[in-house]
Chains A and B, each alone.
Chain A
Amino acid sequence: MPDSPLIVARGLVKRFGDFVAVDGIDVEVRPGESFGFLGPNGAGKSSTMRMIGCVSPPSGGTLQVLGMDPATDGPRIRARLGVVPQRDSLDEELTVEENLWVYGRYFGLPRAVVQERAKELLEFAQLTDRASSIVEPLSGGMKRRLTIARGLVNTPDILLLDEPTTGLDPQARHVLWDRLFRLKREGVTLVLTTHYMDEAEQLCDRLVVMDRGRIVAEGSPRELIDTYSTREVLELRFDTDDHAHRLGDVDGIADRVEVLADRLLLYVRDGEAAHAEVLRRGLEPLSALVRRATLEDVFLHLTGRSLVD
């Protein structure tokens, strides 16, 4: 029983009129795992999350969350979910701690329990010294952390995070990742969407890559990179209007070459060796960079497009 999956979707579909946002996906999330939906904007990640969060009825397929059917047991399921929506929905007129108190009451928690819990959560969210500040003037990072604390107020079985760090500056993102990583270590089941590959690599044990409502690949970040990319990437930038014109020059150096608007990506096992070969051929790139392959490369390979446009 403890190992049975918390979320099971089979052929899950979400339609808005003629538009198919989610086009028949299969997903399984197990207890304690950190599961990600990676994909560009409009891939169907948020629609999927809203269906799992039982606020959006599926248009087709089957969905089970915590062993129950969202269509009939929505409130019962939601009672055991924590939700961190893409856009903050805090009550900005209230104080930080009041937001937690009010929200805890929505889960039917007794007042004393909520107040005790709020103290722990503010500690976790590093907001204890702002407990009695009004929310409105707080920074984006603080609001996000408060939103996460709020999502934990009912001690959920699953925490759903929709684009948890979108719109935050790099420093705030790192603080947030650190917090989420701690939850993960404590065994909280995290389900998150992101279009940042570094976020997916840091936080997800397992993920699915979504594109146009479909799942195009599934696995751990490492597996995906091993399967769909080489270990290293050599990025070459030439003095040209169209990098496709330089394809012939690098012929034979790489397993695979992707042409971007401003550079060539050479997928190779050994980046330094490939770079040496480029120099040996007398090619003179404006810049050359060897890096490890990331999920961005996986996505590019699978869809021919970048994640962030």
Chain B
Amino acid sequence: MALGTRIAPASRPMVRGGGWAVMAHWLRKYRRVWFGSAVSSFLTPLLYLAGMGFGLGMLVDSGSGGVGGVPYVVFVAPGVLAATAMQVGTGETSFSVMGGIKWDRMYHAMLATPLGPRDVVAGQLGFVAVRVLTSVTAFFVIAAMLGTVRSPWAVLAIPVAGLGGMAFAALMFAFAARLENDRGLTLAFRFVITPMSLFAGTFFPVEQLPGWLQPVAWATPLWHAVEACRDLFLGTVALGPLLGHLAYVGAWAVLGYVLAVRVLTRRMVV
């Protein structure tokens, strides 16, 4: 058995698809927790839609006859769908990114191999895409079973919400990779992610916000994801606005990815 050195051919093939190997690693980690994670993927929408949609919705509907002519639960379902994608996406690229740099130091191990920062980011985001899409799909199934889907177009809300989730995941990756400790993450969730999931048109139309706050809501990628999903759910979708929303969210996703690679490179290759 030869454990060690051999004179390797200088032309040993370069590793291709390093990102896939990274993604496979994350999926393997996930296998240990998938059951609990899957249960919560189904339970979360059920609780949200039951509590907010039907509980709160009863008050809203009896008070004002729904929102924009539809029952509250129908209004809120696509909003929460998009917000869930954001929560899942950012949840997977916050503490684990910090850990890869500082705690379990997994990124150090990865970068000692032929992999580069690009593979590390792409591979992890590939895994996050799987997580986001499965969560969104579970949500969609529950939402459909509860009768909140009004149009066959609604099925397209799955990839649209998924894109939104990925934009946030990539941005969170870039943010987390800069931090020295996890206080910044707590702050980001408390003062950015949570307020955004509440006020970006998810639970009530942004027109209800004070005038000066409305442009802020419009600027968030979440509002665009929510609007697109809602149009698809209700069947009120038109190509122009849909493409506009997608382009806006997509631009943030690309920016997030580029930043994540750049920040991670600066952090690790010193």
Which A residues have a C-beta under 8 Å from some C-beta of B? 2, 16, 31-32, 53, 55-57, 67, 74-76, 78-81, 83, 85, 87-94, 98, 102-103, 105-108, 120-121, 124, 150, 152, 154-159, 182-183, 186-189
Say yes or no: B28 contacts A159, CB within 8 Å: no
The 8 Å CB contact of B3, one of A81, A94, A102, A186, is A186
> Roughly how many angstroms separate A90 CA and B110 CA in the complex, as a whole number?
10
Which chain B residues border A78 with CB–CB below 8 Å? 112-114
State whether A102 and B24 are in contact (beta carbons under 8 Å apart), knowing that A57-B269, A93-B32 are contacts in the complex.
yes
* B contact face: mostly helix, strand, loop, or mixed: loop
With both chains docked as a complex, state the minimum distance between the C-beta of A283 and any C-beta of chain B, in angstroms. 52
The 8 Å CB contact of A89, one of B24, B108, B269, is B108
Which chain A residues border B29 with CB–CB below 8 Å? 91, 93-94
> Roughly how many angstroms separate A154 CA and B5 CA in the complex, as a whole number?
10
The 8 Å CB contact of B12, one of A57, A80, A98, is A80
Say yes or no: A120 contacts B269, CB within 8 Å: no
Which chain A residues border B8 with CB–CB below 8 Å? 80, 155, 157
> Roughly how many angstroms separate A88 CA and B4 CA in the complex, as a whole number?
21
Number of contacting residues on B, CB 8 A? 38
With both chains docked as a complex, state the minimum distance between the C-beta of B138 and any C-beta of chain A, in angstroms. 23
Confirm or deny: B2 has a beta carbon within 8 angstroms of a beta carbon on chain A: yes
> Roughly how many angstroms separate A153 CA and B113 CA in the complex, as a whole number?
11
The 8 Å CB contact of A75, one of B6, B15, B106, is B15
> Roughly how many angstroms separate A268 CA and B21 CA in the complex, as a whole number?
59
Confirm or deny: B270 has a beta carbon within 8 angstroms of a beta carbon on chain A: yes
Confirm or deny: B182 has a beta carbon within 8 angstroms of a beta carbon on chain A: no
State whether A98 and B28 are in contact (beta carbons under 8 Å apart), knowing that A55-B269, A76-B14, A186-B3 are contacts in the complex.
yes
Which chain A residues border B104 with CB–CB below 8 Å? 89-92
Which residue of chain B lies nearest to A80 when distances are taken between CB atoms in the complex?
B8
Which residue of chain B lies nearest to A81 when distances are taken between CB atoms in the complex?
B112
The 8 Å CB contact of B113, one of A56, A92, A107, A152, is A107
Which chain B residues border A32 with CB–CB below 8 Å? 5
- B72-98 interface code vs A (CB 8 A; 1 in, 0 out): 000000000000000000000000000
9 closest A-B pairs by beta carbon, nearest first, are: A188-B4, A108-B15, A89-B105, A89-B109, A106-B113, A105-B21, A83-B112, A75-B114, A79-B114
